[in-house]
Amino acid sequence: MSTEIKIKASDGHSFDAWQSEARGEKKGSVVVLHAITGRISHLADVCDQWADNGYTAIAPSLFDRISPNIINSYDPDGVKAGICHYTSLTEKQILTDIAASSEKVKRNQPIVISGFCTGGTWAWVSAAKLHFDAMVNYYGSHVPAWLHISPNCPSIIHYGDIDHCVSMKEIADIQTANPDLKIKIHPGAKHAFFNPEQESYHTEAAKISWAQSMEFLDQVLF
């Protein structure tokens, strides 16, 4: 069961996070980055899902740099607000909080970076600029704008074939720039297909992508 904790970053900033301790066989840890909606309750469930698979999981509230407890709705106004929130943060601030989250759950075992939507974009940047042993990325929305850098660890990224944020052409460009990157395309799936709170939720794609991610980590980490 995820619990809410406080984390202090290296610059003194304190922020909230969901954390769930690994259950059963301990495999490692994971930092899970939220979408433009903020640290919604779904992220607590995702942390529990990781924990059930042997990974201590933490989901930091990156928007706490702006104000505590920011949650944006799924409607157009919420999307607009979320974009404004993320763009008001600097790369240094975001990476500082991700690094602090990583330190909080480091257990002398492999540590994974993961994220959804814009959180997937920052998972990409983190995999390139911080130390992680693997990346599991769900529909990183601005990855095409970051092709000048590449993950420095084994990485898998999931997209639906009708994602409105990233086109199939852009996905092909991501693959061309990163030949070793494992890209999984999910037929009939839209953006945010993993989130059961959204109308775009795709049960089969969510189930299959999770199984693919766990299999990938078993292959590259152990």
Per residue in 15-26, pLDDT (tens digit) is 999 999 999 999
Q: What is the pLDDT of residue 78?
A: 86
Query: Domain 3-221: what homologous superfamily?
Result: Alpha/Beta hydrolase fold, catalytic domain (3.40.50.1820)
Of the pLDDT bands very low, low, confident and very high (cuts 50, 70, 90), residue 61 is: very high
Question: Where do the domains of the chain lie?
Answer: 3-221
Of the pLDDT bands very low, low, confident and very high (cuts 50, 70, 90), residue 1 is: confident
pTM: 0.96
Contact status, residue 160 vs residue 139, Cβ threshold 8 Å? yes
Of the pLDDT bands very low, low, confident and very high (cuts 50, 70, 90), residue 117 is: very high
Closest CA to 39 of 67, 11, 77, 12: 67
